[in-house]
Amino acid sequence: MSERAYPLNVAVLVFAGVSELDLGTLLGLFGRAGERTTEPQGPRLLEVYTLARSRASVQGTAGLVLTPQYALAAAPDPQLIVVPGGSGAERAARDPQLRAYLSQHAGKDLAAIGGGALLLGEAGLLADQVVTARGGLAERLWSYQPAEVRGDLEVVHAPGRHFAQSGLAGVRLTLDLIAQQLGEEAALEVARSVGAAWAGLTD
């Protein structure tokens, strides 16, 4: 791990109508992973933070009001960007600032849970990708010309792109991403700490 610069920055994009379930999963599990250090008293291995088009507070799907830690223009450079889903994903996907931010980071690792994939689609980042979704969301994602939309898989990984369906699949996706960034031991430790099952990186 000495060849990598730490901490690794994980940005979680938030917007009005973001899913509190997805957000809590991401912040909780990545936060646990961030407690690991390179050595005693050394720097943390991972930092997770929220960002949005501005630092104005937004209200989630269930009514939780939260204030993003960073505006897009002032956020630290991320190694991984994760987009939660939620009832506001469709509207957020049409936001030109969010589209531009995601497009500018097209070369980074990008992940989405549920309707968060709509934001990647509007940024032109789903073409030729294999994504996962069911029902109306699956029909909507076909408009972005993915290679395939898999309703039978809860989680899909490809180089630089990662997708999960809503709900518990977001837990698995987050643990998979922790394993990819910090190693399987880190993912197993986080899973045990929250009482979650983790099957590793296999589909």
All domains of the chain, ordered by start, with CATH? 8-194 (3.40.50.880)
d(CA 84, CA 50): 11
165-184, pLDDT tens digit by residue? 999 999 999 999 999 999 99
d(CA 25, CA 173): 10
Position 202 scores a pLDDT of: 41
What is the reported pTM? 0.93
d(CA 23, CA 28): 8
58-89, pLDDT tens digit by residue? 999 999 999 999 999 999 999 999 999 999 99
